[in-house]
Amino acid sequence: MTTPAPTLPPVALHDTTGLYLTFLGAEQATLDGQTLKLRRRFCEILLILATNPNGLTGGQLSAALYGEWSDTQNQAVEVHRLSKLVELSSKPYRLVRVVGADFLSVQDLLMEGRTREAALLYRGELLPLSDAPAVNEYREYLHESIRQAALLSQELEPLWTLVARFPDDLELIEALNERLPREDVRRGMVQARMRLAQRRLCAS
């Protein structure tokens, strides 16, 4: 069962010029409006460079990708292959084209206190299948940031949106249940979802 979220105005579409990364629950990228076919490792490199606009040394990028098993030689090969698709500079490694990204937009919206819009744009966890250390760290940071913003918000809409997308997050469900007026007919649906989440938690 999926808890429905209220109908809200859509978030504005991004500009089609430059490089745009759609990595929330997806592994998609466009360059000047044209879709790029990217391997997961390429997505990881793009994410790491997008979140480090001043650039990284080869050693820093390798550590971000591989952690303690840092492999600068393999990282250099991957960057070389990626540079055939997306313009990169070296010394330090950084993205040359104008970059936009759904995850950067979510972060900016949260910084501006626009929690409802951030929740709408947060369509899933960041590169959920990646195990690169830097990606894991940023994924956890962004996910917890949007959760806490929704929990602290005075609006119900961000909670509705996140509960619909993460139906096993008991803390979010309980917060939504507490804030709904007693006469709200949707309380029964939320309480049913809460019981299911509690059962799954006990069974795990």
Q: What is the identity of the amino acid at 68?
A: E
Indicate the domain borders of the chain.
1-157, 167-204
Grouping H, G, I as helix, E, B as strand and the rest as coil, residue 134 is: helix
Task: Give the per-residue pLDDT at 46.
Answer: 98
Please list the pLDDT of the chain residue by residue as tens digits (204 residues): 444 444 444 444 455 679 999 999 999 999 999 999 999 999 999 999 999 999 999 999 999 999 887 777 888 899 999 999 999 998 899 999 878 999 999 999 999 999 999 999 999 999 999 999 999 999 999 999 999 999 999 899 999 999 999 999 999 999 999 998 888 888 888 888 888 888 888 887
User: What are the residues whose beta carbons fall under 8 Å from the beta carbon of 7, sequence distance 6 or more?
Assistant: none
Q: How far apart are CA 137 and CA 86, in angstroms?
A: 24
Contact between 23 and 43 under an 8 Å Cβ cutoff? The reply is yes
The token pair that represents 80 in the structure block: 């070389």
Secondary-structure class of domain 1-157 per CATH: mainly alpha
Task: Give the per-residue pLDDT at 183.
Answer: 87
